Structures are given as C-alpha cells and as structure tokens.
Amino acid sequence: MRAGQRGVALISVLLVMSLALVIIGGMLRSHRTLLQGIGQQLQQMHLRQLAVAGETRGLGLLKAQQKDSDLIAQPSSAFAMEDAQIRVEIEDLAGRFNLNTLLIQGQVDQVTLNRWARLLALLERPPVQLEQVGALRELSQLRLLPGVDAELLRHLAPWVALLPAEAATNVNTAPALVLRTLDGIESSTAEALVRQRSTAGWPSVQAFTHDPLLSGLGLSSHGLGVDSRWYRITVLVTQGQGHLRLATDVERDPKTRHLNVLQRRVLPSNPNEIPQ
C-alpha cells in the first residue's frame, strides 16, 4: 500500500516537474522573442538616427544652391558613419510629371492631358481619366479610379509628383522619359537634350523650345519651367544586415529660401540599391 502511494507521489512530482519545465521553456522562448523584438526596434531607431544625419547632409547640399534655377551640383553623395554606409540622393520633384496640373480651376488642361496620355503610352499602361478625382495629395487616391491597381501605381511612382497646380515641369532636370511626353520629342532627341544640359541648363523656357534639337517641332512652352523649389532627399542606410530608406520631401520658401520639410517616409529597401 505504501509502495503504491510512493509510486503515485513520484509520478505526481514528475508531472509537476514536467509541467514546470514546459512553462519555463515557454517563458524562455517568449523572453527570447521579446529580446529579439527589442533588439530589432533599437536597431531601427539607430538606423533612423543615421538616416536623419544623411538627410541633414542633403539639406546642406540644397542650401548651398545660390538660386532655384541652379542644377543640383551634387545629386548624390555617400559617406560612412559608425560602421554604417549612408547614401544620399537628391531629386528635383519638378522634373517629374505633376499630376495636379491636369486640372486648372476645375477645368481639364488639354495640353497636359495629352502629355499624360503619352506618359501612360510610354509606360505601356492603359488610359486613365484623372479628371474624375480632382487634386491629389497621395498617389494611392488613384485607386478610386476603375482599372487602377497596385501594379499601375508601381509603374507611375518614379515618374509622377503631386505638387501644387502652378508647379511647372523643370526641363533642366526632367529625365528623358518625361521629356518624351512633350509633343514631337522622340527617344533619341530626349537623350540628346539630357546629354546637352549636363554641362549647362537652359536659362529660360524660350531657350529650351528654340533649341536647335527641337527645331521645327513648334513645341508649346505651356506648363514648362527652368527652376524648382520642391525636392526629395532619399537616404539609404546600410549597417550590417540592417537597411533603412528614408524619403524626405522639402520645399524652399521663394522669399526666405528656407527649406521646409513637407513629409518624411520610411520606404522599403530595394536590395538592388543597397551598396555592396
């Protein structure tokens, strides 16, 4: 009888010990997961601090511009800090196609509408009627339109901007594809224009439209400009296995020339953009 009781007691102790081990193991796993999560959060915070340092570098480069019509002297730079590699890219947003120029005081701008149709054709995308949505603040607003999906937005994102309606397309910084949206400009001409302006931009829109490369096209100067005050500073930070990409949109005050930060966004890191 006593031997049976001792056996039952031993089994009970073993069961309690097994249960305790299971509980302790679960607690250790939870603790390990918690520590890993905290470590990742701390790493992301540190990467953000490094990205802000890169943003400060970009703001300094923009402040060095003497006037808004200056081409960006150093559109990209790279430096090391705390065993991290930081790359800074500066883009003139006015060099993109400004979607908000399609509607001027509620009326569809036909010249810009034709350029929009050419942009979609160049990207091999179907037509999209933007006058149905009005002024845009976020590109995702286009999802309200029939036929607009994530794939279309992904194709549009590098080429379009959402600036005030009065912001003209800067021909001194627009990439060749955006120049090709202008009536009559073919691929070879656009590439030649980009090569030509690499040494000196056009001082005026008239100088651009009368460029010998555009002779005979009768190119409209509507919606075109030679300067800008809207920029995007993109910072890519790489530290060990950690990556972070920060995009900061800024606007230069036309009177004080002070740079105002409009928004900051952490973007997904593109593995193809990570410096080796």
Q: Is the pLDDT of residue 20 over 60?
A: yes
Nearest to 231 by CA among 93, 83, 44, 99: 93
The predicted structure's pLDDT at residue 109: 83
| 57 vs 63: CA distance, rounded Å | 10
Query: Does 112 share its domain with 218?
Result: yes
**Structural domains of the chain, count:** 2
What tens digit of pLDDT does each residue of 85-124 get? 999 999 999 999 999 988 776 678 889 999 999 999 999 9
Q: Choose between 3 and 226: higher pLDDT.
A: 226
Q: Is residue 29 part of a domain?
A: no
Tell whether 140 and 198 lie within a shared domain: yes
Q: Which of 256, 259, 227, 226 is nearest to 62 (CA)?
A: 259
273/88 Cα distance (integer angstroms): 12
Region 61-81: what's the mean pLDDT? 79
pLDDT > 80? residue 272: no
Same-domain status, 201 and 115: yes
Shared-domain flag, residues 53 and 80: yes
Three-state secondary structure call for residue 54: helix
Is residue 239 domain-resident? yes
pLDDT recorded at residue 69: 67
Instruction: Note the pLDDT of residue 157.
Output: 92
Least Cα distance to 56 among 84, 91, 92, 90 occurs for: 90
Judge if 154 and 218 occupy the same domain: yes
pLDDT at residue 54 in the model: 92
Instruction: State the chain's mean pLDDT as an integer.
Output: 85
Within a 10 A sphere around the Cβ of 1, how many other Cβ atoms? 5
Q: Say if residue 121 is in the same domain as residue 196.
A: yes
- pLDDT above 70 for 55: yes
Euclidean distance between CA atoms 229 and 216, whole angstroms: 31
**pLDDT at residue number 271:** 43
Q: How far apart are CA 221 and CA 219, in angstroms?
A: 6
Task: Give the confidence band of 215 by pLDDT, cuts at 50, 70, 90.
Answer: confident
Clarify whether residues 261 and 210 are in a common domain: no
Strand partners, 244: 237
Q: How many CA atoms lie within 13 A of 73 on its CB side?
A: 12
Q: Which domain holds residue 82?
A: 39-93+229-273
- Residue 176 CB burial class (10 angstroms; 0-12, 13-18, ≥19): middle
Can you give the CATH number for the domain in which 60 is found? Answer: 3.30.1300.30
Please tell me whether residues 61 and 89 are part of one structural domain. Answer: yes
Q: Would you say residue 254 lies in a domain? A: yes
Based on the domain organization, do 202 and 103 belong to the same domain? Answer: yes
Lowest-confidence pick of 4-18, 60-74, 121-135: 4-18
Residue 74 lies in a domain: yes
Whether 1 maps to a domain, the answer reads: no
The pLDDT score that the predictor gives to residue 95 is 95
Residue 64 domain-assigned? yes
What's the pLDDT score for residue 37? 66
Secondary structure (3-state) at 92:
strand
Closest CA to 273 of 89, 56, 73: 89
* Residues 151 and 188 occupy one common structural domain: yes
CA nearest 52: which of 213, 252, 247, 227?
A: 247
pLDDT band at residue 188 using 50, 70 and 90 as cut-offs: very high
User: What is the predicted pLDDT for the residue at 144?
Assistant: 83
Same structural domain for residues 106 and 217? Answer: yes
Which residue would you say has higher pLDDT here, 226 or 14?
226
| pTM exceeds 0.85, yes or no | no
Q: Tell me: do 66 and 82 sit in the same domain.
A: yes
The answer to whether residues 75 and 90 touch, using CB atoms and an 8 Å cutoff, is: yes
Asked if pLDDT for residue 275 goes beyond 70, the answer is: no
Q: Tell me whether residue 148 is in a domain.
A: yes
* Domain assignment present for 8: no
150, 161 in Cβ contact below 8 A?
no
